[in-house]
Structure 1
């Protein structure tokens, strides 16, 4: 016979799509082998993940046991629509049965009256006092009353039979639909052995599914004494439906993926075949335009995910710890657990990307001064005026610089127009395509602003294609042109002003180039 025990949950490690639950307590054991039963485990516990440790002793066997038991009824359950219908049909049946009994009694009274009339006819006829007209009227009255009562009795009997059948059917459905709810009572059966006995520490761990966590952030941009600062708060959003509540537990959050396969991929044949170029291929160069996303961490930005992102840890498993005990009920709802926060000096500027949007956004740059790396996740953006929007934070290392956009400025607008001209030289056949971009920046506000506009132009990877900025037609001159083709303009926008910017670049290709 095993001794039942109740070990509290003291530690939970939530992984990307599951959780490692640890139960631990001090128990008193006699010397020698003994059977224990740890009660109250989650019915979703993974059998092969069960582990048990006993200080100073050994665990010979550990397995999970599940038994189906009826769930105890609630103290005051609410009546369902089906139960209310059963009660209504029961009342209707009782009323119909009472009506049948009343009509039976009325029919008996009518029969008694008919017998009294017939007895009076016999008595008066014997005495020679015949009254045929009166007797005919009395018999007709009794006959009509009997016929009316008999028809009403027939209708009432039919109605009582119908309500009795409906009541029986509803009771049958209710009996099938409201079966006692079953629940799985899960326990860990342990065979332990302790040489001396006494008070020892027993530890049981197991994995459960239906638990997940994701990082979430809140960034607040506020003015400070020396400029601006950003306060970044990191939280963990935890969902769990493991059928057991985690009360005052030590919570750890891990990015490890225990189910990720570690075996190398299978090698397959990759055939390379050589062939001679055709005459057309010898005299032409195939090129194509393509969009390329820069894959960097921090300010450069990693991949953008609109849906619930996975845990991007940069390839190295990380573990975060909640600073205090946490209580998480098993309700499947999101619960936010604060992890850490830091305040970093920031520098902000107004940046516009006319190719994507006519708005000008407030962009702040600051360093990651937290205790660890910042995982990719959604971030709520807050300024002194309040909540301004939501963005996506990229994976950022410790000390790395990152940027966030804190909404647009309503007083600033950009209008963009683009025109393309193509010219072919007659002698060499060289094609020159000129792209002319005109930008109109307006400031309808009451204060001057400094605005950064960023445009882009293609970057050539082959010698047959040349891309260059037309300096003499670009007004004003750009402040910087990056190796990736990002052209940066720094403009001063006085209050109530409107100004025009011209940006021109050319794409020159030889006659051999095809695809442009």
Structure 2
């Protein structure tokens, strides 16, 4: 136990020495951020004045989640850099300016309450004194009515003024104490955040001459990323669709990004970039009676009998199973990944909160049509179709859809379609009136023979109350027979396209402003009298 304690002390001691014995401490400032879907490559700048000869520099206040193999340090002079080491500082966490401001405010408010409490105490003593000194004159001396009246008026006035002033002062104390309570709550939140360890980079170098030097520090860190988000706006039917691509950016690295140049990358360097390989897939015949014995043996597989892991995909006997290659961090900003550079410097605090950054706007021509299945829903749904859409740089993501300046809802914006047409649902349109009603339901019960015949006729009315011409697609259906004893005949379909296999009826109509059109669908069902047809 003593040996463990001694070792721990030595380790802590070495950490402290590494932190305190640096010849120069420098705080860097992030300048460029290449943000991936998960993680970021950050370039920071720093400056300091070096002495001549060998020395050590400590870059402080860095994210604790830095990949130590990604750290690079450059200078603008003939400085010779011998070593670059990343370390995590658990003893001296990052400075929190917000916490210090709250701490200063707490001191000011506490001093105010102390002064006010003294005032309350003085006023309380004054009230006590007035209450205890009510007798006027001696026990044997008389007091005139005028003196008594004057004294009573003085006590009443003084008690009233003192009591009101005490209440006002106590009210001030209560309000300030509430403010102090809120500040202390926020300080507790920031205190836990400030306890987060910080990263440091220790650099051993040699300077040929003394003087100022500029440094550039680059590294990869996690706890940050972005996801795509879109705003799709259609002003009116017939107008081009406006698509705004945005990035939902977050970072909780422990270091604020203030006025940095951001480049968004669709790649993900935290996943393996080694291409997989196929291995022979062999099938075997197995005796079911022999299954239990191999299974029992496999549980006793020794460690030294296990296959070695090479980091490359390895084949297994199970169909389609393989091990994953080891994750390697690679800045793979090539043709396989798209880069979006944000033109305006941006500030993103290390809070984990969402920040929305606009990437690009697109104005694309679109064709509009309505779709309805009156049997299920009498509303017409507006659909926008964007043809010749081939923007493989954008990733699929959620989209906020707006139509005629109204928020319609969320949709999924699939940019990775194999075709060249994007279909966007723009919601219901109450200006397209649709009605479906049963106009004939006739059951011929007195047919000769053993068969019955049921005839049904529906009428669908569509009216366009918009000020522009529309195209609308409607669907309905004819029932299908599941038995040879049931025969179905289509009597009327108003020029609908009829799919005999599915029973679907499809219409495509063009309606001018104010125009309405009626569609009729009718069918008959013949079946044996002794049966009842279910499903009608």
Write out per-residue CA displacement over residues 176-229 of structure 1, whole angstroms, 9 at most, x where no aligned residue: 985897435835131333586895753232424265433223243668xxx764
> CA shift at 1:448, angstroms?
6.1
Match of 1:95 among 123, 131, 135: 123
Partners of 2:257 and 2:354 in 1: how far apart?
14
Partners of 1:412 and 1:455 in 2: how far apart?
17
Query: What 5-or-longer segments of structure 1 have no aligned partner?
Result: 118-133, 138-159, 265-270, 275-315, 423-431, 509-515
Q: In the alignment, is the contact (CA less than 8 A) between 1:416 and 1:439 conserved in 2?
A: yes
Alignment of 1:123-272 (within 5 A): 178=184, 182=191, 183-184=194-195, 186-193=198-205, 201-209=215-223, 212-220=226-234, 229-242=240-253, 244-254=256-266, 256=268, 258=270
* Residues 481/28 of structure 1: CA separation in 2 closer, same or farther (3 Å cut): farther
* Residues 272/332 of structure 1: CA separation in 2 closer, same or farther (3 Å cut): same
> CA shift at 1:64, angstroms?
2.5
Write out per-residue CA displacement over residues 41-61 of structure 1, whole angstroms, 9 at most, x where no aligned residue: 35xx31555742134734342
Task: Look at both structures and tell me which one has the larger radius of gyration over its CA atoms.
Answer: 1
Q: Does 1:478 align with 2:496?
A: yes
Q: In the alignment, is the contact (CA less than 8 A) between 1:53 and 1:204 conserved in 2?
A: yes
* RMSD (Å) for aligned C-alpha atoms: 5.8
Match of 2:371 among 332, 335, 351: 351
Partners of 2:462 and 2:388 in 1: how far apart?
35
> CA shift at 1:453, angstroms?
0.7
* Residues 85/375 of structure 1: CA separation in 2 closer, same or farther (3 Å cut): same
Q: Does 1:410 align with 2:422?
A: no
Q: In the alignment, is the contact (CA less than 8 A) between 2:66 and 2:219 conserved in 1?
A: no
TM-score, normalised relative to structure 2: 0.55
* Residues 353/175 of structure 1: CA separation in 2 closer, same or farther (3 Å cut): closer
Partners of 2:424 and 2:341 in 1: how far apart?
26
Query: What 5-or-longer segments of structure 2 have no aligned partner?
Result: 1-21, 75-79, 144-165, 278-284, 289-334, 444-451, 528-534
Write out per-residue CA displacement over residues 116-166 of structure 1, whole angstroms, 9 at most, x where no aligned residue: x6xxxxxxxxxxxxxxxx99x9xxxxxxxxxxxxxxxxxxxxxx9xx99xx
Partners of 1:362 and 1:404 in 2: how far apart?
9
Partners of 1:33 and 1:483 in 2: how far apart?
86
> What SS does structure 2 have at the residue aligned with 1:72?
helix
Q: In the alignment, is the contact (CA less than 8 A) between 1:347 and 1:364 conserved in 2?
A: yes
Partner residue in 2 for 1:488: 506
Q: In the alignment, is the contact (CA less than 8 A) between 1:4 and 1:39 conserved in 2?
A: yes
> CA shift at 1:88, angstroms?
5.7
* Residues 339/261 of structure 1: CA separation in 2 closer, same or farther (3 Å cut): closer
TM-score, normalised relative to structure 1: 0.57
Partners of 1:260 and 1:465 in 2: how far apart?
56
Alignment of 1:397-476 (within 5 A): 397=417, 400-416=420-436, 438=458, 440-443=460-463, 445=465, 449-455=470-476, 472-476=490-494
Partner residue in 2 for 1:429: none
Partner residue in 2 for 1:326: 345
Q: In the alignment, is the contact (CA less than 8 A) between 1:416 and 1:437 conserved in 2?
A: no
> CA shift at 1:319, angstroms?
4.1
Q: In the alignment, is the contact (CA less than 8 A) between 2:39 and 2:220 conserved in 1?
A: no
Partner residue in 1 for 2:88: 64
Q: In the alignment, is the contact (CA less than 8 A) between 2:479 and 2:488 conserved in 1?
A: no
Write out per-residue CA displacement over residues 442-495 of structure 1, whole angstroms, 9 at most, x where no aligned residue: 3162776442113468999xxx989x9967335123337499886531235463
Q: In the alignment, is the contact (CA less than 8 A) between 2:488 and 2:526 conserved in 1?
A: no
